[in-house]
Structure 1
Amino acid sequence: MAPAEMLSLCLLVVLAAASASAQEINNRFPDGFMLGYATAAYQVEGAWNEDGKGESIWDHMLHEHPEWGWNGQNGDVACDSYHKYADDVECLVNASADAYRFSISWPRILPTGDLDNINQAGIDYYNNLINLLLANNIEPLVTMYHWDLPQALQYIGGWPNPIMADYFVEYARLLFDTYGDRVKWWITFNEPSVFAGGYASTGGQAPAQNAVGIGDYLTYYTVINAHARVWHLYNDTYRATQQGYVGITLNSDWAEPLNASSPTDQEASERSLQFGLGAFGHALFTAEGDWPPVMRERIDANSAAEGRPRSRLPTFTQQEIEYNRGTTDFIGINTYGTGLVTLGETGSIPSFAHDQGVIVSRDPSWVVGASGYVYHVN
């Protein structure tokens, strides 16, 4: 593969290794397994202001604060996939890919985030990419939102504002209408607990809104409701004709008790998982729905101790609980490493870290991965 081709396709590949002997390893994927590669629009497309594209929260933040980018870098050009998507598909073919997961840049097709301005050049770009993938027998898996909110919607508060669910539903409707005849796998959100951190950030995480312990939880609430509404939209209006699937991708590092025989450390590791994967998974996948009970209890108690008249964690109505649960055809899991967890106080008051009430460490003997995470290698 030529260097230019390598540059034009930034691939995220997650490899899982089993602790089995060489004799036990089956070197064949099961029937129906899809080997794929994944990218995110802001990280690969570039062309940040070309052909009518609107400004995203990452565009805005890194132009206002270039010092927050790694060595002053940003996504203005990135891998230049907007111009080199055909090279990207060629790379995928050469890599024997069965699937390609990419995200659509909301401000590229809706520069203001709303249907008052539909950018045909952006619509055409993704049509061309999807068609070329299918022509090469590569299944498109489309992420609707991968942390690139139109800046125009940030001016009205962004994800902590519950009205964002209305905007997201109409954006999703446009995607289903435009691409749903060919796209059969839809991911509403990628790693919502990560982009929610942009509303509990003093800098470096778009949109860098410092509402720690409040803005992030409001974002959780809006995103869960928005996801469920999009799933119902597809299920009620499009599934019969388009025959596709709608899911969500969550992230969760694994948590092990620092002292495996300690009941308090076992409790801490379970709490870490509930605040992590459970924050979204409980509402969408369990029969009970709603937040994990430990989140509800701790954040309510901490909010009261802080002298607040209400909890910092929003409350789902019973109607929302029933409407939201079960609204997934599949789940994607991104995981990067394992933490050793014990009970302890950390983080500012208020904050997610303080509410969680655990301390996470890494074994210094573990290998450091490319993302800065550590891995236990047997």
Structure 2
Amino acid sequence: MESIELFTGAGGLALGTHVAGFHHRALVELDHDACETLRRNSQERALPGIESWKVHETDVRLLSFDIFGPVDLVAGGAPCQPFSLGGKHKGMEDPRNMVPEFVRAVRELQPRAFILENVKGLLRQSFSSYFSYIFLQLNYPTVTRVRREDWTEHLRRLEDIHTKGRFRGLKYNVIFQLLNAADYGVPQCRERVFIVGFREDTELDWHFPEPTHSEEALLRDQWVTRDYWKRHGIRVPKQRPSFSSERLQQLERDEVLKTAPWRTIRDALRGLPEPRVDRAPAHIFNHRLNPGARVYPGHTGSPLDLPSKTLKAGVHGVPGGENMIAFPDGSVRYLTVREAARVQTFPDTWRFEGAWSEAMRQLGNAVPMELAAVVARSVAEKLSQADAR
């Protein structure tokens, strides 16, 4: 199945859709260092089948999507700073808002399906009207703004079309959900909005995949069965988290859980040598220690035996707290780029270009590969079922 990837960044969503079976005709990205990351990994065949990736280093607003021909899937994580909880909250007025370009790609390419990813802040109450606007544009991508029509007037027109229910043009059946990456095996608590649509004429029914991992299962693994500590060959800590005795009793009663334990930073880093400042191991990419980590208010790091906090790119550089490991003895240090890549579930063969801060920015902007793959595999399976009819 053919696809095009927009706002590709370092490639998290692109890798997820790739391993799900989609062949990328083009990857579009403006940032030079991110493009260098994509090119180098493609040239070095960091994963099988990506040597044919064509990276377009350009502003998506300058592209005519017709040149890419018909595709089955359009996917992308439109720049999230306009809606990020850590950003300037300009939303629809922010010039970095690229959601309209994603809608244009759907309109021009008319794929059988699309996957749009964005930050949790998109669902903030202050953006509720604009989220409805995005949602209805993706339902009816050919209903475009007319001259001198602002977005609120366009929204009202889309609402009229939607409630009337007799639209005969290009239409997509669209649903959205807020997903926590930790619930799907990613060692990071990272909440992201996924908006998925299927072209109406495919007549496909689809729902988001059910979570496979849970916090309850992790707590039981650590403090009831204690299998977690046995797997890592370490003693059970004397001090356990401060949760109620009622919760512990419930965990003890839950003999069988349908979900696996959340994965932790310790799980993610298993097998990696301790990083050094002076040099990185020759056989492990991007694993040099960046010194200087310290704790201060609001920057306490991520506990080693829990999923990481959300890795962030930051408007004014990389935030220290989210990109630090907090060890049980009270010490902290920065994640190396390779460790952060493990937290984002990139393969160890994936090399990041640029200095530490630039590579961490790429990772902070990325979609966890495994979360992307879970959603993309489900979409690919449904499209394959349609092909088999």
Shorter-chain TM-score tier: 0.3 to 0.5
Structure scoring higher RCO (CA < 8 A, sep ≥ 6) equals 2
Q: TM-score, normalised by structure 1?
A: 0.32
